């Protein structure tokens, strides 16, 4: 198994490429913060609410050196690769099957192939290859201290990460990439995606309509400003009051300015734009929100086009 780290500058690192062998990848469930309030002369307490805070990810790994003088070099390399103070994305990589030794006849010209790190290379079928376990990634930052433990020429480490802004797993692909079906490798079985041609669960671009349904695949709602979503609407008629709604969101309004046929309205995070110019002050501040399953939408006019570009989030 292995982990892949994608740094802020786009650098991609796999520990195995540097001679480190990952023993396990332990992804904890999310930490929950629950608030209660006591009432005078009342038994028990009142639940005020709960929210998810963060998630810990622990990666035990090791390396084996030829000479003990190389221990310091490998140790410092691991520190350089992982102990950043800026967030990075982490992906989980595993094999489908455990590697087993290939039994061979004890003849003089037989040998065991070694990989570039001098470990036996037992890869003899496609099932032995390491693969991404799913289409999710976690935005994490290194947390804690690495304490190397040496036993002979083997040095063991334990890497500790925690999620930063969001505790959720995030889809690597966007809804538009899913709709275009150009990068099938971005998705996994657990996303429950309908791959039949023309499936409604993969439709995120609509034309010449006033209402419809868009499908959200994530088990955690996409309902915060720091979750990726961009909704683009091309108006179908002139108006001074544009109103629309989604199943799980407040009614969204743009009023007080003249809007024309063909104007491009974009809801991007907590900002709203008309033809590239921010008009957030002309709105009622409400933002699009999506929950698992079918999300119905409706406009107070027939729009030329609406496109839902978003990522899916998972508990």
Q: Give the pLDDT mean for 175-197.
A: 80
Residue 6 to residue 9: CA distance in whole angstroms:
8
In this predicted structure, the answer to whether residue 73 has a pLDDT above a threshold of 70 is yes
What is the Cα gyration radius of the chain?
Answer: 25
Closest CA to 162 of 80, 90, 81, 79: 90
Q: What is the structure's pLDDT at 244?
A: 98
If one compares 178 and 106, the residue with the highest pLDDT of the two is 178
Model pTM score? 0.86
Domains of the chain listed by start with CATH number: 2-163 (2.40.30.200), 174-314 (2.60.120.860)
How many percent of the chain have pLDDT more than 70?
A: 88
User: Above pLDDT 90, what percent of the chain?
Assistant: 77
Where residue 117 falls among pLDDT bands split at 50, 70, 90? low
Q: pLDDT, tens digit, for every residue of 132-180?
A: 889 999 999 999 899 999 999 999 999 999 999 999 999 999 999 999 8
Contact call for residues 60 and 147 (beta carbons, < 8 A): no
Residues 6+ apart with CB under 8 A from 32: 50, 51, 52, 53
């Amino acid at each position: 198994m292995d982990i892949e780290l994608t740094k802020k500058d786009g650098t991609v690192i796999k520990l195995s490429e540097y001679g480190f062998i990952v023993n396990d990848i332990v992804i904890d469930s999310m930490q929950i913060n629950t608030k209660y309030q006591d009432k005078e002369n009342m038994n028990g307490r009142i639940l005020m609410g709960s929210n998810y805070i963060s998630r810990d990810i622990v990666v035990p790994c090791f390396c084996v050196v030829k000479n003990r003088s190389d221990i310091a070099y490998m140790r410092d390399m691991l520190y350089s690769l992982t102990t950043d103070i800026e967030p990075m994305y982490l992906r989980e990589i595993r094999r489908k099957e455990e590697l087993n030794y290939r039994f061979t006849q004890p003849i003089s010209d037989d040998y065991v192939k070694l990989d570039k790190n001098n470990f036996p290379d037992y890869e003899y079928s496609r099932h032995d290859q390491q693969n991404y376990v799913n289409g999710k990634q976690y935005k994490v930052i290194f947390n804690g201290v690495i304490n190397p433990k040496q036993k002979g020429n083997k040095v063991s480490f334990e890497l500790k990460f925690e999620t930063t802004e969001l505790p959720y797993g995030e889809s690597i692909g966007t809804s538009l990439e899913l709709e275009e079906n150009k990068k099938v490798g971005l998705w996994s079985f657990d996303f429950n995606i309908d791959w039949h041609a023309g499936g409604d669960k993969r439709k995120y671009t609509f034309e010449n309509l006033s209402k419809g349904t868009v499908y959200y695949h994530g088990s955690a709602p996409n309902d915060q400003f720091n979750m990726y979503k961009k909704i683009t609407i091309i108006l179908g008629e002139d108006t001074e009051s544009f109103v629309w709604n989604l199943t799980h969101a407040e009614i969204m309004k743009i009023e007080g300015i003249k809007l024309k046929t063909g104007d491009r309205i974009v809801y991007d995070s907590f900002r709203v734009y008309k033809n590239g110019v921010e008009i957030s002050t002309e709105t009622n501040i409400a933002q699009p929100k999506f929950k698992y399953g079918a999300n119905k939408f409706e406009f107070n006019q027939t729009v030329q086009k609406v496109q839902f570009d978003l990522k899916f989030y998972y508990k």
